[in-house]
């Protein structure tokens, strides 16, 4: 399949080209920091930022948020989370 956009740089406003499951952990950071988080199921997600601040969000299935968290905590997270990169 031809890719008409292969010679263009991918920026933060362009579409993602990779996706991966994120396994929540209270101690292990996400191996490849995503550009956005996508939620496959509704529930709660606890996201940790670069400063170590953990905040809880209520999310719905199909929702995506443009946040580059460093970790998704297992404690308190009930949603299924994917990373888009």
The tens digit of pLDDT for each residue in 28-61 reads: 999 999 999 999 999 999 999 999 999 999 999 9
What is the band of 23 on the pLDDT scale with cuts at 50, 70, 90?
very high
The confidence score (pLDDT) of residue 11 equals 72
Domains of the chain: which residue ranges? 19-84
Rg (Cα) of the chain, in Å, rounded? 14
**Distance of alpha carbon 52 from alpha carbon 39, whole angstroms:** 22
The confidence score (pLDDT) of residue 58 equals 98
What is the band of 21 on the pLDDT scale with cuts at 50, 70, 90?
very high
Q: Which of 71, 75, 77 is nearest to 59 (CA)?
A: 77
């Amino acid at each position: 399949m031809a890719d008409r956009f292969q010679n263009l740089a991918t920026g933060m406003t362009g579409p993602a080209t990779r996706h991966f499951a994120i396994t929540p952990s209270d101690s292990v950071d996400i191996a490849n920091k995503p550009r956005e988080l996508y939620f496959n199921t509704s529930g709660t997600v606890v996201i940790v930022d670069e400063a170590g601040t953990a905040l809880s969000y209520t999310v719905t299935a199909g929702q995506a948020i443009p946040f580059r968290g460093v970790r998704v905590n297992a404690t308190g997270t009930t949603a299924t989370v994917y990373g888009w990169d």
